[in-house]
Chain A
Amino acid sequence: MHDMNQDTGLAIRMRGVTKIFGNDPQGALALLRSGKSKAEVQAQTNHVVGLDNVSLDIARGQIFVVMGLSGSGKSTLIRHVNRLIDPTDGEIVVEGNDVLKMSLPELRTYRRSTVAMVFQKFGLLPHRSVIDNVAYGLEVRGVPKAERMEKAAKWIETVGLSGYEQSQPRQLSGGQQQRVGLARALALDTDIILMDEAFSALDPLIRSGMQDQLVELQKSLGKTILFITHDFDEALKIADRIAVLKDGAVQQEGKPEDIVLKPANEHIEEFVREVNKARAIHVRTIMERGEFEACEFQVPANARCEDVLPYFAEHQWVGVTNDKGVQIGRVTAKRVIGALARYTPGVGES
Chain B
Amino acid sequence: MFPELIDTRPWRRAIDDGLNWVVRNWGDEFEAAAYPLLMLLKFIEDTLIATPFWLIMILLVGIAWLATRRWQLPLIVFLSLVFLGVMDLWEDAMTTMALMIAATLTAIVVSIPVGVWMSRSARVRQVITPILDLMQTLPSFVYLIPTVMIFGPGKIPALIATIVYAAPPLVRLSDLGLRSVDPAVMEASRAFGTTPSQRLFGVQIPLALPTILAGINQTTMMALSMVVIASMIGAGGLGYQVLQGIGRLEVSRGLFAGLGIVALAIIFDRITQSFGKQLQARIGLAEAR
CB distance from A142 to the nearest CB of B (A): 11
On chain A, the residues within 8 Å of B203 by CB distance are 125
User: Any chain B CB within 8 A of the CB of A207?
Assistant: no
8 Å CB contact of A123 from B188, B284, B285: B188
User: Any chain A CB within 8 A of the CB of B94?
Assistant: no
On chain B, the residues within 8 Å of A125 by CB distance are 185, 188-189, 203
State which residues 14-35 of A face B: CB under 8 Å. none
Do B283 and A127 touch across chains, with their CB atoms under 8 A apart? yes
User: Any chain A CB within 8 A of the CB of B10?
Assistant: no
State which residues 191-232 of B face A: CB under 8 Å. 191-195, 198, 203, 206-207
User: Any chain B CB within 8 A of the CB of A162?
Assistant: no
The B interface, classified by DSSP as helix, strand, loop or mixed, is: helix
User: Any chain B CB within 8 A of the CB of A109?
Assistant: yes
Do A124 and B185 touch across chains, with their CB atoms under 8 A apart? yes
Do A141 and B193 touch across chains, with their CB atoms under 8 A apart? yes
State which residues 127-148 of B face A: CB under 8 Å. none
Do A84 and B190 touch across chains, with their CB atoms under 8 A apart? yes
Give bound CA distance, A109 to B285, whole Å.
31
Do A126 and B193 touch across chains, with their CB atoms under 8 A apart? no
Of A4-12, A110-118, A276-284, the stretch lying at the interface with chain B is A110-118
Do A127 and B192 touch across chains, with their CB atoms under 8 A apart? no
Do A169 and B288 touch across chains, with their CB atoms under 8 A apart? yes
A120 (CB) vs chain B CBs: closest residue: B184
On chain A, the residues within 8 Å of B7 by CB distance are none
Give bound CA distance, A125 to B198, whole Å.
13
8 Å CB contact of B185 from A112, A115, A123, A194: A123
CB distance from B189 to the nearest CB of A (A): 7
CB distance from A301 to the nearest CB of B (A): 39
Do A170 and B192 touch across chains, with their CB atoms under 8 A apart? no
On chain B, the residues within 8 Å of A170 by CB distance are 284, 287-288
On chain A, the residues within 8 Å of B4 by CB distance are none
Do B283 and A117 touch across chains, with their CB atoms under 8 A apart? no
B195 (CB) vs chain A CBs: closest residue: A108
Do B285 and A126 touch across chains, with their CB atoms under 8 A apart? yes
Do A126 and B192 touch across chains, with their CB atoms under 8 A apart? no
Do B283 and A123 touch across chains, with their CB atoms under 8 A apart? no
Give bound CA distance, A37 to B197, whole Å.
42
Give bound CA distance, A126 to B202, whole Å.
12
Do B191 and A121 touch across chains, with their CB atoms under 8 A apart? no
State which residues 57-112 of A face B: CB under 8 Å. 82, 84, 107-112
Give bound CA distance, A125 to B192, whole Å.
12
Do A84 and B193 touch across chains, with their CB atoms under 8 A apart? no
Digit string of B93-135 for contact with A (CB within 8 Å is 1, else 0)?
A: 0000000000000000000000000000000000000000000
CB distance from A33 to the nearest CB of B (A): 30
Do B193 and A127 touch across chains, with their CB atoms under 8 A apart? no
Do B282 and A111 touch across chains, with their CB atoms under 8 A apart? no
Give bound CA distance, A110 to B192, whole Å.
9
On chain A, the residues within 8 Å of B185 by CB distance are 123-126
Known contacts being A123-B185, A126-B185, is A112 close to B283, with CB within 8 Å?
no
Do A127 and B282 touch across chains, with their CB atoms under 8 A apart? yes
Digit string of A141-165 for contact with B (CB within 8 Å is 1, else 0)?
A: 1000000000000000000000000
Known contacts being A126-B284, A168-B284, is A117 close to B191, with CB within 8 Å?
yes
On chain A, the residues within 8 Å of B192 by CB distance are 111-112, 116-117, 136-137, 140, 188
Give bound CA distance, A126 to B191, whole Å.
17
Give bound CA distance, A149 to B109, whole Å.
35
B182, B188, B282: most-surrounded residue (chain A CB, <10 A): B188
CB distance from A278 to the nearest CB of B (A): 37
User: Any chain B CB within 8 A of the CB of A227?
Assistant: no
User: Any chain B CB within 8 A of the CB of A119?
Assistant: yes
- Interface pairs A-B: 8 shortest CB-CB: A123-B188, A111-B193, A112-B193, A170-B284, A126-B288, A170-B287, A108-B193, A117-B191
Binding site for A on B (CB under 8 A): 182, 184-185, 187-195, 198, 203, 206-207, 282-285, 287-288
Given known contacts A112-B192, A125-B203, what 14 new A-B pairs fall within 8 Å (CB)? A108-B195, A109-B193, A116-B191, A119-B187, A122-B184, A123-B187, A125-B188, A136-B192, A140-B194, A140-B198, A168-B282, A169-B284, A170-B287, A170-B288
Q: Could you pull out 5 A-B pairs where Cβ atoms are within 8 angstroms?
A: A119-B187, A119-B191, A127-B283, A168-B284, A170-B287
